[in-house]
Amino acid sequence: MLKTISSITNAIGALNYKGTWNASTNTPTLTSGVGTKGDYYVVSVAGSTTLDGISNWGVGDLATYNGSVWQRVEGGADGNFVNLSVSGVATFAAGAVATPAITTTGDTNTGVWFPAADTIAVSTAGSERMRIDSSGNVGIGTTSPQGKLNVSNAGAAGFEFFTNNPSGGVGTYIQSFNRSAGAYVETHFYAASHTFRTNASATSMVLASTGVISLGAAPGSESLRATPVASSVNYVDASGAVTTAAPSLAAAGSDTNINLSLSAKGTGTVSATSGLSIARTAVTAPAASDGNVFSGTYTPSLTNTTNIASSTAAACQYMRVGNVVTVSGQVTIDPTAAGACNMKMTLPIASTFSSGRQASGTFATVTSGQSDQGSIIGDTAGAQFEFRFTAVNVASSIYAFHVTYQII
């Protein structure tokens, strides 16, 4: 219990100075309940020797004997209390980073201090760890927090929370920013899954532990789902566009040639609710990378097999959809004589016909004064078209044709 000199003298009368006392080694030896009333010692070395229940002795304190027990009278420059109760305002020096104003015995470089007006800081091991500035911003690892909460790595890369956009605007902002370099840095979040909500109840996106991203609602009710593939090197790239340009959905990745698959479920179909445009429209030498929906031109080779003196073909056009190809164009045929004629034409895309019915078409003359016409079938021997007709005379005629065939 803390006593004052006046309270001691009022209680026991005159005091008798006995010298100094080392409270650490109890030198000279003092014993609880033993002494002469009025004797007192001045503590020269702080310590924790227990005298009648008192063990918090500081340099300058007085150990006085009241006739029954030893009592402590506070002295010296430093207060030394077991408990301190303040009913008004307690004022402390500002302190410094390595010598905080409010600290603990034996660890004086750890505590609370006041680096500036309206500012509080906390130090551990002589280094500042946290600060609350005059704006109410909290900084951990930084002495100049820019938002309501900044968590930084020694002022470098940090995680920052703002109740308003620091550049203007409203709303809450979260950013990873390196204040030393003045640049944004990567942010990493680790959890079993991440759920994003637009308000207290509506789920707008879920990132599952498997890497599946569900957009629009929780998994099972989402409008769009993105599913990762282990060790994936190819991916889908969805790109927007400026005015007058078209957004794109493209296959991308490390492979040179990448197909893009759109698949319906079960017996469902893939539908285009507006016009469908085919980008491959000028194919002259079809390749596997062209897929199976494209169009192009070619100039076929002709073989005169029966009763034809000569024939020529103009550039023809064709279109492939799946495994069906449609070909049209014009050829000039000069019969050797009136009667049955036969001519063969190469295909724009190779096919091995097992039946003549796997190609079917017709042709007719467009030459004025002529009326010849005929049929086109598949040639099972040479993987070609076979033109069949009966010439009414030997006049050369131009024929327009249209034929569809299967790729076998």
Provide mean pLDDT across the span 219-232: 89
The predicted-structure confidence for 25-82, as pLDDT tens digits, reads as follows 999 999 999 999 999 999 999 999 999 999 999 999 999 999 999 999 887 666 666 6
Q: Report which of 350, 349, 357 is spatially closest to residue 386, judged by C-alpha positions.
A: 357
Query: How many CB atoms within 10 Å of residue 380?
Result: 15
Residue 292 Cα distances to 114, 272, 322, angstroms: 75, 17, 5
- Indicate the SS3 state at residue 31: coil
The predicted-structure confidence for 201-221, as pLDDT tens digits, reads as follows 788 999 998 889 999 888 888
Q: Identify the structural domains of the chain with CATH numbers, from first to last.
A: 2-73 (no CATH), 194-226 (no CATH), 297-406 (2.60.90.40)
CA–CA separation, 28 vs 21, rounded Å? Answer: 6
Question: At 1, is the pLDDT very low, low, confident or very high (cuts 50, 70, 90)?
Answer: very low
Residue 320 forms beta bridges with which residues?
Answer: 294, 325
Residue 356 Cα distances to 91, 302, 361, 387, angstroms: 107, 18, 11, 11
Lowest mean pLDDT among 60-69, 104-113, 121-130, 161-170: 161-170
The predicted-structure confidence for 82-97, as pLDDT tens digits, reads as follows 666 777 888 889 999 9
Single-letter amino acid, residue 92: F
The predicted-structure confidence for 256-310, as pLDDT tens digits, reads as follows 988 888 899 999 988 888 877 777 788 888 887 777 889 999 999 999 999 999 9
Q: In what order do the strands lie in the sheet with 224-226?
A: 194-197, 203-207, 213-215, 224-226
In degrees rounded to 5, what are phi and psi of residue 153? -100, 90
Query: How many CB atoms within 10 Å of residue 18?
Result: 18
CA–CA separation, 123 vs 110, rounded Å? Answer: 5
Question: Does residue 405 surpass a pLDDT of 90?
Answer: yes
Q: Report which of 297, 360, 306, 361 is spatially closest to residue 333, judged by C-alpha positions.
A: 306
Planar angle of CA 40, 45, 49, nearest 5 degrees: 70
Counting DSSP H helices and E strands in the chain, the numbers are 1, 30
Provide mean pLDDT across the span 143-166: 76
Q: What is the pLDDT of residue 84?
A: 66
Percent over 90 (pLDDT), the chain:
61
